[in-house]
């Protein structure tokens, strides 16, 4: 049973007030809130078994190592990776993408092509531009329609035997578009290209199966799915992880070191130099357990209701433009919108005084804003712990702000 009040009670921050008003937190696309079990898992680590991992013979080090490796197994199981060593723990999506981009620097040649989608987050554009500058490879972009959906006929024209890599987010952070990644992957594989999917926005809403998708790389951050900041993962197919060179040099990633030559440790340690975010990794595992207990079917159902209700209620406001797919089945619970002749920042500032947290701005996706010729949007992104009552408070606050500003 999905009992929203029981779920909300597990998030201490949801009973806080902000500017004297009960918090309405609609900035889940930037980061999610944390349930008590995740907070406890961090406190437990530091108060009961804090020790470095994979090194000490002492008891605490072994307990910490076991807890960290157990988290890796939870992540493996959640994403249905074939092997636990195909899960590389990183500091988050951005690092995971950079790790792959760095690795491909040694595999690409001048004239090779990389395809990215027009819907990307800056963290999924800049590393590829750097890679292209470095290697002489060429960056191509899958364009999008006015509904914020990728134009797949154009993708078909871009894919060729020059294509070596394709990058796309699973769900767009700026518009909430659910991208047709199955088709993107199949068509890339037909020409022998590898595919990396950015799952930072999808993992809070759906449970991806990396083997069913047959994806080469899949990346995400823990903090958008109820886990702590500063930790995330890179899933990579074994064959690709073996091909890519290590990204960082240091402790933990080596087998033997002499001044003449170093040999690298086996997977996953080859990519995990230095002391990792130990408690972060452990709490990531706890967050995954928590979300599975809530249940991804329940999450999808509740969030879709919020999306439909929020869309309907916002459309009551005159002069509102909502960006992204009009077919709500192609969209996550994100509403990116503007009100005619009003700057998004002004709305965001006024409703913040009512305790309502939304994101305003370009959402790290400047090219999308340029496409619509707007400075930014107001983005309300809902999580499974949000309610229709909160949407009502939000819509009333937006209406009031509009009156004040026009
Ligand atoms: C948040 C986000 C990122 C960056 O994630 P970090 O945790 O900041 O590294 C990348 N891609 C998308 C689609 C995002 O939403």
Measured between alpha carbons, how far is 93 from 77 in angstroms, rounded to an integer? 19
Same domain, 249 and 354: no
Q: Are residues 233 and 340 in the same domain?
A: no
Q: Tell me the CA–centroid distance for residue 317 and ligand 1, in Å.
A: 31
Write down the pTM of the prediction: 0.96
- Backbone phi, then psi, for 187, in 5-degree steps? -70, -35
For residue 254, the model assigns a pLDDT of: 79
Instruction: Please choose, from the candidates 239, 256, 250, 257, the residue with its C-alpha nearest in 3D space to the C-alpha of residue 272.
Output: 250
Domain of 18: which CATH number? Answer: 3.90.1150.10
State whether residue 207 is helix, strand or coil.
Answer: coil
Question: Is 19 in the same domain as 144?
Answer: no
Q: What distance in angstroms lies between residue 223's CA and the mean position of ligand 1's atoms? A: 10
Task: Point out the domain boundary residue: 253, 277, 292.
Answer: 292
Check if the beta carbon of residue 95 is closer than 8 Å to that of residue 224: no
Answer with the one of 258, 292, 326 that is the final residue of a domain: 292
Same domain, 258 and 271: yes
- Could you tell me which residues come within 8 angstroms of residue 178 by beta carbon, excluding any fewer than 6 positions away? 170, 171, 202, 325, 330, 331, 332
Structure tokens that stand for 169 in this block: 């987010």
Strands in 87-90's sheet, in edge-to-edge order, are 87-90, 232-236, 217-221, 194-198, 163-169, 113-117, 138-142
Report how many domains make up the chain: 2
299 and 288 within one domain: no
Cβ-based neighbour number of residue 365 at 10 Å: 25
Out of 95, 121, 359, mutate this one to test ligand 1's pocket (max ligand atoms within 8 Å of CB): namely: 121
- Hey, which residues does 150 pair with through a beta bridge? 144
Q: What is the mean pLDDT of each successive set of 10 residues along the chain, which is 406 residues long?
A: 95 97 97 98 98 90 97 98 98 96 95 94 86 95 94 98 97 94 98 97 98 98 98 98 90 81 88 96 98 98 98 97 96 96 95 97 84 93 98 98 94
Mark whether 364 is an active-site residue: yes
Residues with CB under 6 A from ligand 1: 92-94, 121, 123-124, 169, 173, 198, 200-201, 221
């Amino acid at each position: 049973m999905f009992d929203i009040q029981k779920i909300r009670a597990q998030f201490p921050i949801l009973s806080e007030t902000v500017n004297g008003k009960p918090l309405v937190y609609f900035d889940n696309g930037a980061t999610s809130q944390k349930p008590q079990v995740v907070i406890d898992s961090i406190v437990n680590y530091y108060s009961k078994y804090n020790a470095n991992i994979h090194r000490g013979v002492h008891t605490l080090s072994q307990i910490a190592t076991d807890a960290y490796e157990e988290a890796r197994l939870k992540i493996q199981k959640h994403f249905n990776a074939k092997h636990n060593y195909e899960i590389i723990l990183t500091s988050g999506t951005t690092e995971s993408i950079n790790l792959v981009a760095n690795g491909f620097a040694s595999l690409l040649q001048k004239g090779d092509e990389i395809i990215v989608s027009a819907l990307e987050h800056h963290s999924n554009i800049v590393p590829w531009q750097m890679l292209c500058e470095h290697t002489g490879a060429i960056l191509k972009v899958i364009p999008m329609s006015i509904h914020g959906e990728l134009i797949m006929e154009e993708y078909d024209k871009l894919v060729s035997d020059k294509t070596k890599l394709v990058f796309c987010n699973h769900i767009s952070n700026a518009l909430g578009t659910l991208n047709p990644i199955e088709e993107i992957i199949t068509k890339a594989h037909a020409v022998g290209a590898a595919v990396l999917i950015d799952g930072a926005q999808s993992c809070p809403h759906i449970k991806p199966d990396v083997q069913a998708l047959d994806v080469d790389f899949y990346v995400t951050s823990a903090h958008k799915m109820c886990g702590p900041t500063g930790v995330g993962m890179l899933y990579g197919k074994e064959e690709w992880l073996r091909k890519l060179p290590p990204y960082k040099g240091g402790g933990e990633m080596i087998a033997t070191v002499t001044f003449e030559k170093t040999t690298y440790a086996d997977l996953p340690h080859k990519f995990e130099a230095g002391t990792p975010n130990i408690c972060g990794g452990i709490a990531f595992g706890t967050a995954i357990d928590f979300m599975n207990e809530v249940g991804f079917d329940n999450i999808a159902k509740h969030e879709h209701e919020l999306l439909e209700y929020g869309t309907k209620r916002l459309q009551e406001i005159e002069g509102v433009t909502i960006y992204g797919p009009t077919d709500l089945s192609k969209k996550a619970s994100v509403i990116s919108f503007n009100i005619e002749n009003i700057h998004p920042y002004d709305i965001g500032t006024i409703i913040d005084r009512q305790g309502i947290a939304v994101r305003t701005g370009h959402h790290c996706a400047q090219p999308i804003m340029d496409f619509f010729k707007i400075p930014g949007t107001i983005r309300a992104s809902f999580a499974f712990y949000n309610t229709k009552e909160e949407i009502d408070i939000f819509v009333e606050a937006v209406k009031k702000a509009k009156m004040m500003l026009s």
